[in-house]
Amino acid sequence: MSSSGPHKVKDIFVEGAIDPAFIGMSIAKHASRTDIGAHEIFLGQVRADTVDGTAVVAIEFTAYREMALEAMTRIREEAFEKWPSITCLHVHHGLGVIPTGALCFMVFASAPHRKAAREAVAWIVDRIKADLPIFGREILSDSTHLWKTNL
């Protein structure tokens, strides 16, 4: 996913966890973009929360894909308006069962200078958590489950 024009809907969803090697490759692909001076990356990792003494072992993510991708397109367009110097923006979210310790979410922005990349990533992460219809079923070590919520 490289920088996009307006109104183009991109799929952000991947099946399962995000491979750290994929993130390394994503960074490497920007070597030819010598106008970039700063990369900012946020990574979400599935945390082993404890609920009444029972540990979370995985989260199963599902999404209302069409609505999520439309919301993401609006967030992307707003981000490029707010920080026009952003060179590119890559967003991925895992779906399906993702075990604790694995990566479920990546927001990666690049810009000529660090301020725009940093601000954009912080803002985009918050907007995605608030606006994208993604649901998380926390699977506990005793095989029961709870529904995760961001609020």
Partner 1 sequence: MRILLFGSIAEKAGASVLEVEAPSVDSLRQRLIARIPGLDRMRYAIAVDRRVITEDRPLAGSEEIAVLPPFAGG
CA distance 106 to 111: 17
Binding site for partner 1 (CB under 8 A): 44, 59, 61-64, 66-68, 70-71, 93, 104-105, 125, 128-137, 147-151
Residue 117 or 136 having the CB closest to partner 1: 136
Least separation in angstroms between CB 30 and partner 1: 23
In the complex, least distance from residue 115 CB atom to partner 1, rounded to whole angstroms = 23
Cα–Cα dist 108/64, whole Å: 23
Q: Which is nearer to partner 1, 26 or 136 (CB)?
A: 136
**Which of 62, 66, 87, 40 has the alpha carbon at shortest distance from 138?**
62
Q: How far apart are CA 30 and CA 32, in angstroms?
A: 5
**Would you say 61 or 83 has its CB closer to partner 1?**
61
Minimum distance, C-beta of residue 32 to partner 1, in the bound complex (Å): 30
